[in-house]
Structure formats: C-alpha cells, structure tokens
Chains A and B, each alone.
Chain A
Amino acid sequence: MLADGVKDDVTVDGKLYGLPSAVEGYGLIYNKNLFKEANIDPASITSIDALVNACEKLSKLNGVVKPIAFAKETYFSFIHPFNWAFAVDPNYKTDIEKLDKGQITMKDIPSVVQWIKDMDRIKPYTNNALDSYDDQVAGFASGKYAMIHQGDWVQSVLDQDKPNFDYGIIPFPTGGNTKLAVGTATAWRVNKYATEEQQKAAIEFLDWLITSDKGQEYSADTLKFIPAYKGVKAPKAPLAAEVAQYVDKGEIIPWVYNNYFPNGIDVDGSNLIQKYYAGLIKNDDQFLSELTNIWVQDAGK
C-alpha cells in the first residue's frame, strides 16, 4: 500500500508510472539531551508559540549559540523551509496554478502569509542561514545548535561525527502543523524497450524487494531505505525510524516543490531569503510581493 503524500510524485493523471524506491523526510532535527535539560517536551511543539518558547529556553543553555540553524544552500535555505507554506495548504495545486498565471499573489494565500509571519518570529533564534550544510550539521553535532532544519539524509554525516546525545525529528509547526514533510526523489521503473523476459524478471525482482520478508530486510538493513509503503520494515537508524513512524501513521505532507515549483525558483528564492535574513527586506509585504514577482517570472518562462 503506497503511503499518501508520495503518490503525487509517481503518478500522472492517476496512472502509476513508477515505484518509489525510498522516501525521505525533513523537519527540525533536535538534540534530545538539550531539550531535556531545558525541560521541553518535543511533542508539545505544535505551534509557533511553543517553538518560540522552546527557543527562548534553549538559548539560555550553556554552549547553545543559536537554537535553530538553517544551511545556506539553495534547497536548505529556501526550497525546504518554504515548502511548508504550500504543503499545509490543502488547495496548493489550484493556488499554485492561479499563482503561475498571475491571477493571485502570495498575499492571497493564507498559509504563505502565515509562514512568513512564523519565520519573523523564529528569525532572531536562527543562524540567519549563514552556515554551509557541513558547518550546520557539524554545529548540531557539537551542541552549538539545538535544532537544525534538515532531513534524515544527515544520518550518514552524524554517524561519522558520533554526537554524544540522542536526536529526533519534529515537524516545523507553521500554522500549527504537526505533519512531517515526506517525499521521494527516485523511483523504480521498468523499461518498456527491454525484452519481455527482462521486463518480467524486473517486476519479479521489485515484488521480491517490496513484499517478501527477505527483500524487506535487505531494503531496510543494507540499502537503509525508508519504505514508501505502509506496513513495510523500516531501517533502524534513529532518524529513519522516526520518519518511518510518521509515514506509517500517515502524518505526512508532500514535497510540493517536486512537481509544482517553477524552474530556477531555488536560486532566486534563496537569494531573496538571504536578503531577508540580512535584514534588507523591510516587511512581510515586501517579501511576499518580491516572492510573487520572481515566482511569476520563473513560471512564465
């Protein structure tokens, strides 16, 4: 059974075109020890108020430089954080369609307006997205940052750094959101130009990998794939296990940018948000109108 949220990535007009090989999820990866020390229950962070309160407490701890860190690369500074704004919007498909045509602006989409308001609240507690990805994860491992906005892919880096604390992942609570952003980047496909025999063998292999016990074990333990399906064995690594739990419970929202963001918005949007962090954007209105401009420009080309 394919998990909700990843269906969009592999279907066109309701027809399935591939089997997602694995899913990845991102959100706020947090330092469990620091949370305990500051007496914060991670499950209680279901609103921006709660997150801001947590940041306030965390910033008073010894050794914590900033409670939240973003990385400066285009996807980490803009695409992933901004994805929340559309992912929590149940009408994101029609909203983006209208946006592309210039019928509405970002200011007309409540979840986007809410998102930038939420960003304003947490901005003082962030590193202003000035670190590179490596520095951001290293800063988390050394306890400099209590939370980083990243996905389960940092596991391999953390495995090398071997931090002396436990960590987990929580959703970014914009507008009271409690779901993790989960999506897939690659999918298995069968080549229709291969011989029939080869095609049959390929389908058999995929059946084995996804449905058989042995295949699932291999997929989870050797390939470390987080299953894109409900009720399939998940890998043991801490972040992957937590992401798999969210997938299993259906507590996930999509990576809207996979299919609905215009080309080039990663560069233009990242430039805009870096300006925002540098204090060169006066207010939310200016941010949203500049964002609308680059969005329409990139969509129109």
Chain B
Amino acid sequence: MKKNSNTLTFWLFLIPSLFVFVNVVIIPFILGIIYSFTDWDGFSFFGSKFVAFSNYLKVFKDQNFLSAFLLTFKYAIIMVIISNIIGFSLALLVTRKMRTRNILRSIFFMPNLIGGLILGFIWQFIFTKLFVQLGTVLHASNIFFNWINDPNMAFWSIVIVSAWQMSGYVMIIYIAGLESINPDIIEASLIDGAGPVRRLFNIILPLTVPSFTISLFITLSNSFKQYDTNLSLTNGGPYGTTELLTMNIVQTAYKHNQYAIAQSKAVVFFVVIMIITLVQVYLTKKREVEM
C-alpha cells in the first residue's frame, strides 16, 4: 500500500514537467525531423510535398553552412580549452583558505547571471568605444582598435566574452569537485612529501575527473549552440565572417524563408553535437576513479 502511494506521488510530481518537456521538446523535435524531409514553407504544413533527402543534399552543398560549421568547430575547441582552464584555476584559487573567497566566488560567477544577449551589448561598447579611446590615449592603436570591424578579432571578441561568462559557471562545478576530495588523502600526500605540482597532477586531477566530465560536456554543447552573444556582439559581421552555426540556421529560416532546409540543417547539427558529446562523455567516464 505504502509503495503504491509513493509511485503515485512520484508520477503526480512528474506530470507538470513531463507535460512541458513533451510539448516544448519532444513534439517539436519529431515534427522538425518530419519537416526536414518535405518542402514545407514555414506556413501551412498541409500541401507540402515529401522530398526525401533533397534538403540534406542542398545543405551539404551550401558553402556558407560548411564554413559556419568549421568556424563553430574552431570556436567550440577554443572555448572548451580556455573556459575549462580558467574555470579550474579559479576553482583552485577560491578553494584556498582566503578571507575573500566567498566574495571572489560571487564575482567570478556574476557574468553568468547576466544573459548572453546583454553581455554582448555591454562588451560591444567596450570593443567599439573603449578600445578606440584606449588606442588613442595609449598610442597603441595597433592593439586597441575597433575589434568588431576586424574579421579575425571579431571572432576572438566572441571567445573572450563567452569564456568570461562560461568560466564562472564551470568554476562552481570544479569547486564542488575539489571540496568533495577527502582531506585525509591530501594530508597523506603531504606526509609522503608530495609537492604542490605533484599533488595537483597525481591526486587532485584524477579525483576531479567526474567534474571534468560534466564541465567538458556543458562547455562543449553550449559552445556549439552559441547564439545570443554572437547575435548581439557581432551579428555575424563583418561581412559574415563570424557567423556561427545556429546563426546560419536562423538566417536560413527567417531571412531566406527556407524553413525546411533550415530544419534539415538543425537535424544535421543535432546529430553532430550528439555524436561529439557522447564520445566525450564516454572517454572521460573511462578515466573516472572510483574511491
């Protein structure tokens, strides 16, 4: 009897979130896959024809899509490396015995509380106005110029802003990982005479691999899905050189009005992210140490 009422409560609590999940994720996802095989024009689905794989063929012939794909790969790899290194270093810093550690944690986490869209606009001001001013004041206009108008630096400006935002988030995950390490092990290593470097590589890193699994997964999938900062900071410019994958999909749908092709791009995008993240989770899971 008791067990039955527990299952009932379980399902009752699940219903609201399940309802939302099915309606905003599962159903659109299935519909999206169906749309990608038709010539749907974005309005009435009734009357559109089944076109098999012709949308997908067009997708792989689209030069802009392929270059956006490459750029997104480059972006994701750079982002994963930078934000995890910074995030982990910050975590190491704020888990030391310092007075300011709580304030520092809040400061580093703060960028995450502001949406990427707002961050983009704030940093746009810094890159376009402050940098130009700095350049004239410091006579260093070869470093401080309007970064947003330079194809190369515009890309790096997105990296800087997003890394600044992401690092604080993964820092929290690493803090949790670092604080769950049994202090006895650290103490034992101290008694055995391990230096700080050795302690980091032989004790701390192996024991925080579970945090790495999560953090790498989050940074990887979030970087692939980057849209808001890209939109507000560079909007794909100058001349389309910083157009990441999601932006390319949005442009295809809402600017070129090719909804079915955009949907096919989204499906390709989904499959690629899924494969990459699954491989990543599998590889890092293998390295986790059970205590």
A residues near B (Cβ < 8 Å) are 72, 130, 263-264, 266-267, 271-272, 274-275, 278, 280, 298, 301
Structural contact, B255 and A264, CB atoms closer than 8 A? yes
Partner of B146, one of A130, A264, A274, A280: A130
Chain A residues near B236: list those with CB within 8 A.
Answer: 267
A275 to B251, CA, bound (A): 19
Interface of B is mostly: loop
Kindly state the separation between the CA atoms of A298 and B149 in the bound complex, as whole angstroms. 26
Q: From A301, which residue of chain B is reached at the shortest CB distance?
A: B258
Say yes or no: A272-B239 contact (C-beta < 8 A), given A130-B146, A130-B149, A264-B251. yes
B255–A266 touching, CB < 8 Å: yes
B239: contacting residue among A264, A266, A274, A298, CB under 8 A:
A274
Choose from A263, A272, A274, A280 the contact partner of B257 (Cβ within 8 Å). A263
Task: Contact check, A278 vs B238: say whether CB atoms are below 8 A apart.
Answer: yes
Residue B240 lies at the interface, judged by CB distance under 8 Å to chain A: yes
Q: How many residues of B contact A (CB 8 A)?
A: 13
Please give the distance in Å from B277's CB to the nearest CB on chain A: 30
Which residues of B have CB within 8 Å of A130? 146, 149
Mark B residues whose CB is within 8 Å of A: 146, 149, 236-240, 251, 255-258, 261
Cβ A298 vs Cβ B256 within 8 A: yes
Instruction: Find out whether the CB atom of A267 lies under 8 angstroms from the CB atom of B239.
Output: no
A-B contact sample (11 more), CB < 8 A, given A264-B255, A267-B255, A271-B237: A72-B237, A263-B256, A267-B236, A267-B240, A272-B239, A274-B237, A274-B239, A275-B239, A278-B239, A301-B256, A301-B261
The residues of B that contact A272 with a CB separation of less than 8 Å are 239
Q: B255, A271: Cβ atoms under 8 Å?
A: no
| A-B pairs under 8 A by CB, number | 31
Taking CB as reference atom, which chain A residue is nearest B256? A264
User: How distant is B3 from chain A, measured CB to nearest CB, in Å?
Assistant: 57
Bound form: Cα–Cα A215–B221 in Å: 57
Q: CB-nearest residue of chain B relative to A280? A: B239
Question: 19 A-B contacts, Cβ less than 8 Å apart?
Answer: A130-B149, A263-B256, A264-B251, A264-B255, A264-B256, A266-B255, A267-B240, A267-B251, A267-B256, A271-B237, A271-B239, A272-B239, A274-B237, A274-B239, A275-B239, A278-B239, A301-B256, A301-B258, A301-B261
A274 CA to B258 CA in the complex, in Å? 24
Task: Note all chain A residues with C-beta closer than 8 A to B146.
Answer: 130
How far is B146's CA from A72's CA once the two chains are assembled, in angstroms? Answer: 14
Q: How far is the CA of A242 from the CA of B256 in the complex (A)?
A: 35
Q: How close is B202's CB to chain A, nearest CB, in angstroms?
A: 52
How distant is the Cα of A144 from the Cα of B236 in the complex, in angstroms?
27
Question: By the criterion CB–CB under 8 Å, are B257 and A271 in contact?
Answer: no
Decide: A263 and B237 in contact? CB cutoff 8 A.
no
Q: B241 CB to closest chain A CB, in angstroms?
A: 9
Contact residues in B for A274 (Cβ distance below 8 Å): 237-239
Residues in A whose Cβ lies below 8 Å from that of B239? 271-272, 274-275, 278, 280
Cα A267 to Cα B236 with chains together (Å): 10
- Considering only CB atoms, which chain A residue lies closest to B252 in the complex? A264
A130–B255 CA distance with the chains assembled, in angstroms: 22
Determine the distance from Cα of A271 to Cα of B257 in the docked complex, in whole angstroms.
18
Chain A residues contacting B251 (CB-CB under 8 Å) are 264, 267
- Report the minimal beta-carbon distance from A73 to chain B, rounded to whole angstroms: 9
Asked if A271 and B240 make an inter-chain contact with CB atoms under 8 angstroms apart, the answer reads yes
